[in-house]
Structure formats: structure tokens, C-alpha cells
Chains A and B, each alone.
Chain A
Amino acid sequence: MNKLYLWGIIIAALMLLFTYMSVAGSEGGLNGDIVNILAVAGAVALVIITVFVVIKYVRQMQTDTADGQLADEQWDGIGEYLNNVPTGWAIMFLLTMVWGMWYFIIGYPVNAYSQIGEYNEDTQAHNEKFETQYASITGSRLIEMGESVFLAECKICHGISADGIDGKAANLNKRLEAKVVKHVVENGSNNHLLGTEMPMPDRNGLFNNNTGALITDAEIDAVSAYVANGMRGAGADVFAGACAACHGEDGKGMEYVAPNVAAFTTELVANVLTHGKKGAIGQMPKFDRLNAKQKEAVGAYITSLSK
């Protein structure tokens, strides 16, 4: 037995002693716990294997002599053996290359995080939830939804109470104001209120059947007051003569011909939201961001305001 083995045994014994002391010295010690026992057994094995592997290589360095063929290339006098690549290493190297290809082509692109991808997932989840919970609501719940959409999108111009903030936008608590009716009769209108292009002529195309002549200033004022008053009071004769042919005797409009001027309807409001509107007060933008159900809900809410 030479000195090297003696030192190896002394170091191994010392390390085992430290292991024993640190385990035995700690609170509880091994404590009959299988995990603790395994850990200590592992530590003991590790110490013994390490010491004797180190001894093996130290001895090899002491006794080995260089043989084998050197490569032609030398680096500052340091040469390289012409050994074959170790098989295990070569296999791992090739596997790593295969994995690299996979990661480059499929692994990363398919699984990579994308902000837009997360957005699309969020939106889809939201839309599905909307479909299951809200797509078929009616009645008071529909009006409730309309109110919340109104407060988010519409109050900025029409005001919280839908009064139009002192004429800055239409007062939605009533169907039409006199100045709006007057503006439409004088200038005509083409606001897609029926969902399609359906122009109403200006005053030069409006005949009063009662008089057989074009509508006059006085008649415009009268019919404006009549419509603004909720189809009541003076002016009914002018309405019957000049407007009823398209808008109906009761002002409730005709499908594909003319919109309802007596009351709001859900379709009317939805069409305004889809196409926007330009009239006596100013221009209203279209609200394409709302989905069909939301538009219907706003229509239901606004219809409920003037009832």
C-alpha cells in the first residue's frame, strides 16, 4: 500500500466523520426517517467513490506515458491525439442537433408567447361568454344592457340623462325636436335610417296633397311642431297631406319606405349606430365596434326612455 492510498483512506474517514457529526449533531439526527437515511447513505457513497476515483487518475498521471499518433496541427507546441470521437458523445451531439432543428422550426414558433395571440384568446373567450350569457336576453335585462352600453359609449355626447347636453346632441327623451323636423323637411335626408340608402326629398320635392302645391314655410313650421309634439295638436292636416303617404297616417313609418317619426324603434337606433347620422344638430359618428346585440340593447334602452 503506498502513501496515496493511505491519504485517500484518511480523507475518506475524515469526511465520513464530518458527515456523521453533522447528521448526529443536528436536531433529530437520522430519526429513523427513510429520507434522512437515504441522504446519508448517498453522502457516504459519494465520498468513497470520489476519493477512489481521484486516486485512480492521480496514479494514472503518475505512471502514464504518452503514446498514440498526434495530429499534424499544433497549437503553440501543444498537440492533439488522433482519437476517434467517443460514441456516447457523438450520439448526444447528433441528438442535440436534431433537437435544435425541431426547436427552430416547430418548438419555438408554435409555442412562443405572443401578445397578439393572448389578445386573440382573450377576445375569443369573451365572445364565447357573451354568446352563452347575453346573446338571448330580452325585456328588462336587454334594457339594462342598453343602459350600460349607453353610459359607456353615448353619454359623452348625449349626456348621462340622454338630454343632449343643452342641444349639443339629440335629446333622446323624445323622438324628434321641431328644429330637427324642420331641417329634414327643408333639406331632405339620407341617413340610412332603414338600413339602406333611402333618400327623402327636400322641400322642392314635397307636395301637400291638400293644397296641390309645394309645402310652404308656414306649413313646415306647423308640421314640425306637430311631429315634435308627439303627433298631437295643430298641423295634423299638413302631415296627412305631405308626409303620411310615406310615413303613414300615424307617423309609424312603412317598411322599406320611410322610418318611424312617432316613436323610436330598436331597428331605427341600430341603423343609426351602424351608419352614423348627419343632421340639424351635427354629425354623429358610426359605432361599428358594438355588436348586433349591443346595438339592439341600446335601441331597447332609448325606446324605453320616451315611453
Chain B
Amino acid sequence: MFHWLEKHPFFFAVGVFLVISFAGLIEILPNFAQASRPVIGTAPYSTLELTGRHVYIKNSCNACHSQLVRPFKSETDRYGHYSLSGEYAYDRPFLWGSKRTGPDLWRVGNYRTTDWHENHMKDPAGVVPGSIMPAYTWMFTNKADVDTAYAEQLTVAQFFSVPYNKPVPMKDGSAKVVKMGNSVAEANALALAEAQVIAADMKDQNVKDAVARGEIPEIVALIAYLNSLK
């Protein structure tokens, strides 16, 4: 058989390819599959959080802020535990970034709160002296696009089996269920319920009034997203 192979270079090449591919696959695939599995405590984004993520991307926050804590003592002191690949299982796309003009935001939900974000987005230099970040005042009036976020939720739930409406294990041993609406109207109602919790902690009267009217300003969605980064 080998004698025959040596006389047929094409089939010999196919044989070599098969052997090397097999070796590569058994080395790479198990590790890859393990590392890309969601870690315990990583839950899919809720409707309002995903809406906020779209606001984040739309305003190119990721151009100045990374979302990846590297394993250095100086970084974990400042931002918390270094990032694990499974934590990005529900990020499509992930927003690691390669340049930090501002600080990393991957765990910002652990050490900033709703009211700080509100003050900061209105006037960054007011809370961080010398900050070069611009104010994002239009987020307080623009309405957030919940429908697109819902479309994304439907898509990823259907094609990537993202576990919406299913229990997801949390670090403390409990299970969390991230709800997704069955219709656009239901998704909007869910997002509004989340927005009311955020708006209750905010000071801006216009934002509070808008949420009371059933509208969701972009800033509320963005804060929901930032608070979810833990």
C-alpha cells in the first residue's frame, strides 16, 4: 500500500494532509471548545442591556475604551479579575479593543454606579478633573432602539442557542433566567421595566419623565449595559 502511495504523489499529499489535520484537530478543538464555553456567572444580555450595547457601539465608545483586563498585577488591582475567554461567549462581536485612551470598562459595573455614570456622561471633566472625554448630552434625549436589540436577541437565540428564558448558573450557585419577549411589544415592555429601575436611581428629571411616559432615552440603556459589565 505504501509502495503504491509513493508512486502517486497526489494521493500521498492527501494522506499527509489527513494525518496532519487529525493531529491538529485533536490538539486544538477540545481546548478551544472548553475555553469558549460560557463561564459560570456569564449570562446573556437582557433586552435593555443589549440596547445599551448598541448605543455603546454606535457612539464608538470602544474606540477609546477596551474591554479586556490583562493578567498583570497593576491591571487586576485597578479593574478586578483578568478576563477569561468564556466571559465573552455572548458578546457578538466582542469589544476587546487594542488601545486605551480611557480606562478599561470590562468590569466597570463592579465599581461605578448609575448616578456616577449619569454625572460623568453629562460632564466628564466635572467628576474626573482633566478628563478629555467629551460630554454625551444627546444620549439624554435620543430614544433608544429596543426593536433592533430584540431582533438580535431573536437571532442569537435561534441560531446560536443563546439561553434566553432558560436558567443560567451563577457564581453563588443560584440560577438566573434572562427573559426575552415573545413579541416586539413584549420586548419593549420588558426593556421599559428594566429602564424604570435604572431611572429611579437617576437625578435628571427629563429622563425620569421620559421613562414615566414609556420612552427609553439612550442614556438609560447605556447605563444598564455598563452596570451589567462585571
Query: A: which residues have CB within 8 A of B?
Result: 73, 75, 115-116, 118-119, 122-123, 126, 152-153, 156-157, 160, 165, 168, 281-285, 287-289
Contact = CB atoms under 8 A, between A and B. Distances in A.
Interface stretch (B56-64, B121-129, B167-175): B121-129
Given A119-B72, A160-B129, A289-B80, A283 B113 contact: yes
21 contacts: A115-B71, A116-B82, A119-B71, A119-B72, A119-B73, A119-B82, A122-B72, A123-B73, A152-B78, A153-B111, A156-B112, A156-B127, A157-B116, A168-B116, A282-B115, A283-B113, A283-B114, A283-B115, A285-B110, A285-B111, A289-B80
A73 B7 CA distance: 13
A232 B122 CA distance: 38
Interface in B130-170: none
Contacts of A285: 110-113
Contacts of A165: 126-127
Interface of B: 3, 6, 71-73, 76-78, 80, 82, 110-116, 119, 126-129, 201, 203
Nearest to B79: A289
Contact of B127 (A157, A281, A287, A289): A157
Contacts of A282: 113-116, 201, 203
Contacts of A126: 73
Nearest to B110: A285
Given A122-B73, A152-B78, A289-B111, 6 more contacts: A115-B71, A119-B71, A119-B72, A126-B73, A156-B112, A287-B111
Main secondary structure on chain A at its contact with chain B? mixed
Contacts of B126: 165, 168
Contacts of B111: 153, 285, 287, 289
